[in-house]
Amino acid sequence: MNSGMEKQPTGAKRKMTTAEYVGFVLVALSLGALFWYPGPVAGAFTAAAKKVQTIAFGAFISGMVGWAIICSVITGRLLERAGFTDALIRIFVPITRWIGVNPAVVIPGIYNILGDINAAGRITGPVLKQAKATRDEQKIAICTMVQSQQSFSTFMLGIVCLTAAKVSVFPVIIVGLFLPLIVMPLLLKHTIYRDTKAVEIDDLPRYTPDTGWLPVLFGAAKEGAEVLFLIVIPATAAVFGIIGALEYAGIWQYIHNALTALLNLLSIDMETGMVSILASPTLAMGMLTKTAGSLPPKLVVGSFILASSGLPLGVVFGQIPMIWKGVSDLDESEAVKAAVLGIVLRILTAFLIAEFLTPLIMK
């Protein structure tokens, strides 16, 4: 009786793959390290665990950041239920028709300005799919999203810093936060992500759900908790675990020094810039409020524009790919590449605004 399974020919051997050769090398290295150097192995693990505990517990569980994520998801879902997304689509259709892209590409950036980058991805990723945005347009959406701050507190503290530095706030906000919603899709459509298509309002679905307000409220609270505990914290742990191990090995110091030199070159305050990149833009703006009055104005402006982005690195390499792979047509690699490109463009934007706009808007 045929069991439906083919038997391997007698004497046939399965060929070794590249992954298996790599695995053998790793087994040998692991055994050697445990036998001859158990201290450094344990030290690297402990350093990684402490780094994760400091960031994940301090910021997301005992601190305000984690609860702000849950509240941002609730706010975003309530705005969606109130017709906010449909209104934004109608506002941006004429602009995106001129650019030649799907109007849904700007929605994640708007939600990010109003709330949180994790909530923006969770809520607006499905909007892009429903609007039949191409993969290139979804990448444009991520690039555009990381051009704005992911916390309203970052925005408010930044205004305090700009005022202390005697810089006119309004031009910085317009050029640094709202203009990229138009400039980024226009730039990327004609350079890197060309598979785009303008869509008329009649060809788009309605995004306002018919669900009752109470189910939306409690469902959003549950969704916010899922985003925090099942996506944000694990992604943060992965990124900062690696950083902790690199710090123990003495490698991270060289990376840190390179980033410091780059920030000085780009007219960004070194201390707060590093905090924005590695830890929290909100914390960076809080620190800057104490020194903004004594720093050169261009450093304050550059630091604010950098903080008003999709940073820190834990978000770029952890949270964005984890969230977008489940709500869009993109995989983790595509989401990370789009986010990194957006951050690089944001750093260049910070330099250009700090160097060339700041002299024109001093009070």
pLDDT value of position 345: 95
Shortest CA distance to 317 belongs to which of 209, 240, 245? Answer: 240
List per-residue pLDDT tens for the chain, 363 residues long.
455 555 555 556 778 788 878 878 878 877 777 777 777 767 777 877 887 777 667 667 776 667 777 777 787 788 878 887 778 778 878 888 898 898 888 888 877 776 667 667 777 788 888 888 899 999 999 999 999 877 666 787 888 899 999 999 999 999 998 899 899 999 999 999 999 988 887 777 777 778 889 988 998 888 888 877 877 777 777 777 888 888 888 888 888 888 888 888 898 998 888 878 877 787 788 778 888 889 999 999 999 999 999 888 888 888 888 888 888 889 999 999 999 999 999 999 999 999 999 999 887
The structural domains of the chain, with segments of one domain joined by +, span 64-145+152-360
Shortest CA distance to 337 belongs to which of 166, 219, 193, 133? Answer: 193
pLDDT value of position 199: 82
